[in-house]
Amino acid sequence: MSSLVEQSKKLAAYKAVDENLKDSHSVVGVGSGSTVVYVAERLGQLEHKSSFVCIPTGFQSKELILSNGLRLGSVEEYSSIDIAFDGADEIDSQLNLIKGGGACLMQEKLVASCSKQLFIVADYRKRSPEKLGHAWRQGVPIEVVPAAYNKVLNDLKNLEGYKSAKVRYGGTFKAGPVVTDNSMFIIDADFGEIPVEKVSTLHSQIKGLVGVLETGLFANMTTAAYIGNEDGSVATLTL
């Protein structure tokens, strides 16, 4: 990966933490992915880091919390979270998101939904001029019960905008499907470009299929998105 992309991730993450984490915040959600690495790094540099507890969104996130000397909590203990930081695979003009590129979508949505504020950190490649499905062409990640994968693959064909769908495989790292932190499979379903006003409906339709645990469509959850630009600036997107 180019150092420009890496630099933009770091700048966005540091700015999001610096501008939004307050001394009064005692419970902080920490998401998953390569950009959140810099969120955890920044949190770990804070003098008052022992004054808040961090809630992970999966295995990688838990490791980030521990390796940066932060206090680890769980969403079972803390179902009210003051502020959460997470990455995204794509962000539309209304701050709807596609997430789940790293297969952590269920716990990411759990933490986001428990949080009073959700700040997204990303590099410039993640920002769509308008609709989801523009830059992120892999499809919407959907976490499914393993026994239901074939049924869900068939059910998806009946939904408006459907183009294709497949179970995500582990490639050279796993002979067979990717298995999530919840022991589920991931289906990536291509719906082309998703109109802003249809994100919520599409999420509900997919979620309504028996066998679906969660979708990677995050509608109306984002407080603000911090986007690291190629020129070294960081754009703050709010509605």
Ligand X SMILES: O=C(CO)[C@H](O)[C@H](O)COP(=O)(O)O
Q: Which residue ranges make up the site for ligand X (CB under 6 A)? A: 31-35, 86-89, 99-105, 108
Going by C-alpha positions, the residue among 101, 128, 80 that lies closest to residue 31 is 101
- Three-point CA angle 74, 76, 82, nearest 5°: 65
CB of residue 13 vs ligand X: minimum separation in angstroms?
Answer: 9
Nearer to ligand X by C-beta: 150 or 220?
220
Handedness of CA 225, 200, 140, 118 (dihedral sign): positive
Closer of 82 and 108 to ligand X (Cβ): 108
Q: C-beta of 181: minimal distance to ligand X in Å?
A: 10
Q: Per the structure block, which two tokens stand in for 127?
A: 């920002």
Report in angstroms how near the CB of residue 187 gets to ligand X at its nearest. Answer: 14
Rounded to whole angstroms, the Cα distance separating 180 from 154 reads: 21
List helix spans (H) across the chain.
Answer: 3-20, 36-45, 59-67, 105-114, 149-156, 199-207
Helix-strand-coil percent breakdown of the chain, rounded to 5?
Answer: 35, 25, 40
Q: Which is nearer to ligand X, 29 or 211 (CB)?
A: 29
Minimum CB–partner distance for residue 36 and ligand X (Å): 6
Q: Which is nearer to ligand X, 108 or 155 (CB)?
A: 108
Min dist CB 47 to ligand X, Å, is: 26
Spell out the residues 6+ positions from residue 216 whose beta carbon is closer than 8 angstroms to its own.
89, 97, 98, 99, 100, 101, 105, 140, 141, 142
Closest-CB residue for ligand X? 33
Query: Does the annotation mark 108 as catalytic?
Result: yes
Q: Are 31 and 108 in contact (CB under 8 A)?
A: yes
Torsions phi, psi for 90 (to 5 deg): -160, 150
Comparing CB distances to ligand X, the nearer of 73 and 102 is 102
Which residue among the candidates 63, 76, 90, 108 is catalytic per the annotation? 108
Give catalytic residues, as residue numbers: 108
